[in-house]
Amino acid sequence: MQLIRGTHNLHHAQFGCVATIGNFDGVHLGHRKILARVREQARDLGVVSTVMLFEPQPQEFFVPEQAPARLMSLRDKLRTLAALGVDQVFCARFDNSFRSQSADAFVRDLLVDGLGVRHLVVGDDFRFGSGREGDFAYLCEAGRRFDFSVEDTPTCELLGARVSSTRVREALAVGDVALTEQLLGRPYVISGRVHQGDRIGRTIGVPTANLPLRRLRVPISGVFAVTVTGAGLKDAPAVANMGYRPTVGGVDWRLEVHLLDYTGDLYGRHLEVALRHYIRPEQKFDGLEALRSAIHNDIDNARHWFAETGL
């Protein structure tokens, strides 16, 4: 998959495409339906399939403190899109210059002259351009002028409600790992590179791999049974804590993973941690001994769950 970072690199794009535009946070079942349609149309027209993303996501630019929690990093998003067969991604930097361009400039400079869009798949509530002046009707009219076609995205429902990134966040917020997996069509995964932590886990007999999270906000907290892939591991069973670690006075939001029956050095290695089962919320204990006891109870619960499910 080809990645074009920034409008100044559009000359590297493969010209002539079927495109879609959005955040694609989580790349859930609804997104997958859109991507399948984009790939189908691109194949029929003999052009490349293209996804246009924004970094930061618009809400993170306008209201960073109120922006919704991210479901995935840009790195994970790109890897997922590549795995789903997207040919190229245009990642536009969302800044004051980008937000101030008119709807006409957006269409002409980016879609027509930049990407050579032949067909566009977007939601009928999609808005763009300075003051959000561009909408679905505007795109349809622009398509007639610049000779590209436009269609709205199909609705995707699960269990009687629309699949959306918001719904995935809501499921994660209450620890509903099963619903999250249904909405995504796969387990929810957090990835990152293992950094050296406080080494407190080793002092209580539970060494952990620590993955700092470089996101404005994250959508989950608590203790989970997880599987770990990377560094030679494939779906290795583990227990993970996501949160501030209040018992030891933690100040940064961190994912700490204890691999069951594993010995080895994971520092500097990139891991993918897949949530499988919610165990309990994060809580503050009265000292390290109480924390050690709780963690060993979490490990017992995780082992029991893995044994029952056969994972």
Phi, psi for residue 137 in degrees, rounded to 5: -60, -40
Q: What is the pLDDT of residue 197?
A: 65
* pTM for the model: 0.90
**DSSP string over 127-142:** -BSGGG-B-HHHHHHH
Encode pLDDT of 125-182 as tens digits: 788 888 788 899 999 999 999 999 999 987 899 999 999 999 999 999 999 999 999 9
Instruction: Lowest mean pLDDT of 127-131, 198-202, 230-234, name the range.
Output: 198-202
Q: How, if at all, do strands 209-212 and 2-5 pair? A: unpaired
Map tokens 């590297």 to a residue. 12
pLDDT mean over 201-221: 74
Residue with the larger pLDDT of the pair 75 and 253: 75
pLDDT mean over 231-257: 83
- pLDDT grade, residue 214 (50/70/90)? low
The domains found in the chain, sorted by start residue, are 2-156 (3.40.50.620), 187-309 (2.40.30.30)
Please state, in angstroms and rounded to a whole number, the distance separating the CA atoms of residues 29 and 74. 18
Residue with the larger pLDDT of the pair 258 and 214: 258
Residue 89 has pLDDT above 90, yes or no: yes
pLDDT mean over 208-232: 85
- pLDDT grade, residue 218 (50/70/90)? confident
pLDDT mean over 211-219: 71
Instruction: Report yes or no: 257 and 193 within 8 Å, Cβ to Cβ.
Output: no
* Amino acid at residue number 175: G
Encode pLDDT of 279-303 as tens digits: 999 887 777 788 888 889 999 999 9
Per cent of the chain over pLDDT 70 is: 93
Q: What is the pLDDT of residue 215?
A: 60
- pLDDT grade, residue 111 (50/70/90)? very high
Residue 265 has pLDDT above 80, yes or no: yes
